[in-house]
Amino acid sequence: MQMRNFGRLGRISALTLGGGGIGAVWGSTDRREAVATVHAALDAGITMLDLAPSYGDDFESERAAGEALRSRPGADLLITSKVQLVDDTERDFAARIRRSLDGSLSRIGRDHLDLLLLHTQIRTDAPHPGSIGLDGYREAVEEFERLRDAGRIRAWGITAVGHPDSVLAAFAGSPAPDAAQIVVNPLDMNGDLWFFPEARPRTDELIRSATTQGVQVVGIRAVAAGSLTASLDRTVPAGHPAAVDFARAEPFRKLAAELGTTPAALAHRYALTVPGVSTVVLGVKNRAELDECLAAEAAGPLPESEMDALWALRSAL
């Protein structure tokens, strides 16, 4: 497993095991298989778990990870979790962040997090449900800094899927996030994460800005919530963004076949090849899916010709 620089937190594996899969967000699994998948990831050299209270029913990703780590503590394993904030409910962001962190640590069985992420869209001035403005973001940053000073977290960051102008402002702020989760996939599909029809995602600009500001980039949605795989493994309505993107991605699956690989492997190799990406989060829910991603990482970066073919395909769509 390749190791890459991750700023304040040192070096981490090129692949991170995500909590969505083991929390059954991306199709069904069970606790036994989730725990086995965590153990297999550790055996393969993965050094970070990316969890969240919202991944799965009753905090399943954190509970499954906690069970896995009780039998395999993984002292050097980095743990990420998240907090969601919206400013149309209780405004005391500091108290809400502390409560969320306390709950996560209890479920995972740790006394600190290595990385705590704001799991909320940052908007511009226009109100939007489920988001916060830059003023709310700055309040959250103040509490993150206090928690880091107190040793309860080692670093903090954002899930950078809000309005691009606001995300870029966050990167340029002082202090800047230690890390940002950015959607990185061959067709630049944000699916149900994209709330801003008046703006385009501008993923490449976000990665360049993050790199310039010293913000470590965590690639997410490498297979676009399943749309860049051979088949969707969960039932979604016909008009759901994942279903729409899956239909749009048929040329991508054709290209993968021409290259003699699977769509998921091609998508993960793409994300791992993009300059500036420190680690790529896997949405796998079992050991078989994990093995496919491990093989993709072991195959190394995509050659320039294949990257060019993917860029051309994205432009055509």
| pLDDT tens digits along 214-237 | 999 999 999 999 999 999 878 888
Residue 303 has a pLDDT of 97
State the residue range of the domain holding 51: 3-316
Yes or no: say if 94 and 50 are a contact pair by the CB < 8 Å rule: no
Yes or no: say if 187 and 252 are a contact pair by the CB < 8 Å rule: yes
Stated pTM of the model: 0.95
CATH number at residue 294: 3.20.20.100
Residue 90 has a pLDDT of 64
pLDDT digits (tens, 9 = 90+) for 241-264: 889 999 999 999 999 999 999 999
**Residue 94: both structure tokens together:** 């500091």
Q: Give the pLDDT band (50/70/90) at residue 132.
A: confident
Q: Give the pLDDT band (50/70/90) at residue 61.
A: very high
Yes or no: say if 155 and 9 are a contact pair by the CB < 8 Å rule: yes
3-state secondary structure of 31: helix
Instruction: List Cα–Cα distances, 21 to 56, 65, 126, 170, 172, in angstroms.
Output: 9, 12, 33, 29, 32
The total domain count for the chain is 1
Yes or no: say if 97 and 144 are a contact pair by the CB < 8 Å rule: yes
Q: Give the pLDDT band (50/70/90) at residue 127.
A: low
Yes or no: say if 144 and 101 are a contact pair by the CB < 8 Å rule: no
Residue 183 has a pLDDT of 96
